[in-house]
Amino acid sequence: MSARFGLAALLLMPLTTTSVLASCVTEHFHFLTHGDAVTTSEVLRSGDTCFHTLRNNAGAGNIFYQLGTAQAPGHGTLTISGSAFQYRSSKDYRGPDSYAVKICMESPRGRGCSIVIFNADII
Protein backbone atom coordinates (compact mmCIF):
# COMPACT_ATOMS: atom_id res chain seq x y z
CA MET A 1 0.00 0.00 0.00
CA SER A 2 1.45 3.36 -0.97
CA ALA A 3 1.70 6.17 1.57
CA ARG A 4 -0.64 8.28 -0.56
CA PHE A 5 -3.36 5.59 -0.56
CA GLY A 6 -2.91 5.06 3.19
CA LEU A 7 -3.45 8.75 3.86
CA ALA A 8 -6.49 8.82 1.59
CA ALA A 9 -8.00 5.81 3.34
CA LEU A 10 -7.57 7.49 6.72
CA LEU A 11 -9.39 10.60 5.57
CA LEU A 12 -12.54 8.92 4.26
CA MET A 13 -15.50 10.39 6.09
CA PRO A 14 -19.07 9.08 6.06
CA LEU A 15 -22.21 11.14 5.96
CA THR A 16 -25.25 9.87 7.81
CA THR A 17 -28.60 10.35 6.15
CA THR A 18 -31.93 10.00 7.84
CA SER A 19 -35.20 10.02 5.99
CA VAL A 20 -38.64 11.30 6.77
CA LEU A 21 -41.24 8.56 6.46
CA ALA A 22 -38.79 6.63 4.27
CA SER A 23 -39.39 9.15 1.48
CA CYS A 24 -35.74 10.07 1.03
CA VAL A 25 -33.20 7.45 0.02
CA THR A 26 -29.62 8.68 -0.46
CA GLU A 27 -26.84 6.57 -1.93
CA HIS A 28 -24.11 6.08 0.69
CA PHE A 29 -20.82 7.78 -0.15
CA HIS A 30 -17.43 8.78 1.27
CA PHE A 31 -15.28 11.78 0.58
CA LEU A 32 -11.78 13.08 1.22
CA THR A 33 -11.06 16.56 2.50
CA HIS A 34 -8.53 17.41 -0.21
CA GLY A 35 -10.69 19.62 -2.41
CA ASP A 36 -12.31 16.67 -4.13
CA ALA A 37 -15.79 16.61 -5.62
CA VAL A 38 -18.00 13.60 -4.96
CA THR A 39 -21.34 12.88 -6.63
CA THR A 40 -24.14 10.90 -5.04
CA SER A 41 -27.82 10.41 -5.76
CA GLU A 42 -31.04 10.46 -3.83
CA VAL A 43 -34.68 9.71 -4.52
CA LEU A 44 -37.59 11.42 -2.80
CA ARG A 45 -41.25 12.20 -3.33
CA SER A 46 -42.40 15.57 -4.60
CA GLY A 47 -42.62 18.10 -1.74
CA ASP A 48 -40.70 15.89 0.71
CA THR A 49 -37.44 16.57 2.56
CA CYS A 50 -34.10 14.80 2.81
CA PHE A 51 -32.34 15.39 6.14
CA HIS A 52 -28.55 14.99 6.30
CA THR A 53 -26.54 15.10 9.54
CA LEU A 54 -22.76 15.12 9.82
CA ARG A 55 -21.52 13.20 12.83
CA ASN A 56 -18.27 14.28 14.51
CA ASN A 57 -15.88 11.72 15.91
CA ALA A 58 -14.12 13.88 18.48
CA GLY A 59 -12.35 10.90 20.03
CA ALA A 60 -10.56 10.29 16.73
CA GLY A 61 -10.05 14.03 16.17
CA ASN A 62 -12.45 14.29 13.21
CA ILE A 63 -14.55 17.44 13.50
CA PHE A 64 -16.74 19.09 10.86
CA TYR A 65 -16.25 22.84 11.12
CA GLN A 66 -18.07 24.36 8.14
CA LEU A 67 -20.97 23.64 5.81
CA GLY A 68 -21.99 25.85 2.93
CA THR A 69 -24.03 25.92 -0.24
CA ALA A 70 -21.82 25.28 -3.26
CA GLN A 71 -24.77 25.09 -5.70
CA ALA A 72 -28.40 25.90 -4.90
CA PRO A 73 -31.07 23.48 -6.15
CA GLY A 74 -33.17 24.48 -9.14
CA HIS A 75 -36.41 22.84 -7.97
CA GLY A 76 -36.34 23.03 -4.20
CA THR A 77 -34.67 24.62 -1.19
CA LEU A 78 -31.46 23.82 0.67
CA THR A 79 -31.23 24.80 4.34
CA ILE A 80 -28.00 24.53 6.34
CA SER A 81 -27.91 24.72 10.13
CA GLY A 82 -24.99 23.73 12.34
CA SER A 83 -23.76 20.28 11.31
CA ALA A 84 -26.90 19.41 9.35
CA PHE A 85 -28.56 20.32 6.10
CA GLN A 86 -31.82 19.52 4.41
CA TYR A 87 -33.13 19.57 0.88
CA ARG A 88 -36.86 20.01 0.25
CA SER A 89 -38.17 19.46 -3.25
CA SER A 90 -40.72 21.87 -4.67
CA LYS A 91 -44.30 20.71 -4.22
CA ASP A 92 -45.81 19.23 -7.40
CA TYR A 93 -42.41 19.09 -9.17
CA ARG A 94 -41.32 15.74 -10.56
CA GLY A 95 -38.04 15.19 -12.37
CA PRO A 96 -34.34 15.74 -11.79
CA ASP A 97 -32.75 18.32 -9.51
CA SER A 98 -29.25 18.81 -8.14
CA TYR A 99 -27.49 20.77 -5.46
CA ALA A 100 -24.03 20.80 -3.91
CA VAL A 101 -22.76 21.26 -0.37
CA LYS A 102 -19.26 22.34 0.65
CA ILE A 103 -18.20 20.28 3.68
CA CYS A 104 -15.08 21.19 5.67
CA MET A 105 -13.50 19.16 8.44
CA GLU A 106 -10.46 18.89 10.64
CA SER A 107 -8.69 15.62 11.37
CA PRO A 108 -5.36 14.62 12.91
CA ARG A 109 -3.97 14.77 9.34
CA GLY A 110 -5.05 18.38 8.70
CA ARG A 111 -7.95 20.54 7.58
CA GLY A 112 -9.73 20.63 4.25
CA CYS A 113 -12.97 20.90 2.31
CA SER A 114 -14.82 18.89 -0.32
CA ILE A 115 -17.85 19.47 -2.50
CA VAL A 116 -20.59 16.84 -2.40
CA ILE A 117 -22.99 16.99 -5.35
CA PHE A 118 -26.45 15.51 -4.85
CA ASN A 119 -28.41 14.45 -7.93
CA ALA A 120 -32.01 14.18 -6.79
CA ASP A 121 -34.70 12.20 -8.58
CA ILE A 122 -38.07 13.64 -7.55
CA ILE A 123 -40.91 11.16 -8.03
List, in order of start, the domains of the chain with CATH numbers.
3-122 (2.60.40)
**Helix spans in the chain (H):** 3-10
What pLDDT does 115 receive? 95
- What 3-state DSSP class applies to 35? coil
Cα–Cα distance between 31 and 114 in angstroms, integer? 7
- Strand arrangement, sheet containing 95-107: 25-26, 37-44, 110-122, 95-107, 63-71
Name the stretches of the chain with pLDDT < 70. Answer: 1-22
What pLDDT does 34 receive? 79
What pLDDT does 10 receive? 33
What pLDDT does 19 receive? 40
Residue 42 CB: number of other CB atoms within 10 A?
A: 20
What pLDDT does 15 receive? 46
**Side-chain-side CA neighbours of residue 9 (13 Å):** 6
